[in-house]
Amino acid sequence: MHSISTFRHSSRGRACAIACAIVLGGVVSAPTAFAAEPAVQIAQAGAVSAPDRSLMTLAAGAGLYELEVSKLAASKAVSAEVKDYALMLAKHHGESNEALRQLAARKSVQLVAEIPADKKARIEALQGLSGEGFDRAYVDRVGIQDHEADIRLFENMARDANDADLRAFAEKTLPVLRTHLDAAKTMASNRRQAQTPAPQ
């Protein structure tokens, strides 16, 4: 009887030991598992998706181009109106570039540091012009064509970007771009009217 009792006590002891080990093992391992989850969630929440990075890269390249070509126009244009317009664009795009740079830094996104090759070619083409020809080309190409492309890009960003901060940046920038486009269209229209011969 004693041996049976001892066996039962021993068995219960081993069972308790096993149960305790399982419970303790779960308690010890649980904090590690739960601690890992927030880190993963934070990394995922802070990560910028590949499409968003692409939009930011395109916006950065366009911004660098607009700033550089407008500095060129501010020094080369013959019309005071075009000079003033170019100075306005240089100021606004400089501010927008800085806002995008700060946003990218917060998101750990590396932006382009140079003007894209296709846009460098557009600057070089304008550098070969002078006088009224330069003014007209700058208003038509930069003021109208490039800003129409910029607006499409920022509309896509405001609508499709996954990152809420990037969408907010695009929404804030769009009204400024539309003002630039409207001003360029007005200048182009005024120039055409001025060049149209008066009816005899």
Asked if 103 contacts 169 with a C-beta cutoff of 8 angstroms, the reply is: yes
| Other CB atoms within 10 A of residue 141 CB | 16
Measured distance CA(96)–CA(32) in Å, rounded: 44
pLDDT at 185 over 90: yes
Q: In the prediction, which pLDDT does 39 show?
A: 34
Mean pLDDT of 18-42: 36
pLDDT at 26 over 50: no
Structure tokens at 5: 């009792």
pLDDT at 21 over 50: no
Q: List the single range of 32-41, 82-91, 99-108 with lowest mean pLDDT.
A: 32-41
pLDDT at 180 over 60: yes
Distance of CA 15 to the CA centre of its chain: 61
Mean pLDDT of the chain: 83
Measured distance CA(155)–CA(170) in Å, rounded: 7
Task: Name the most confidently modeled range: 43-47, 180-184, 190-194.
Answer: 180-184
- Give the alpha-carbon dihedral of 31, 33, 35, 36, to 10 degrees: 160
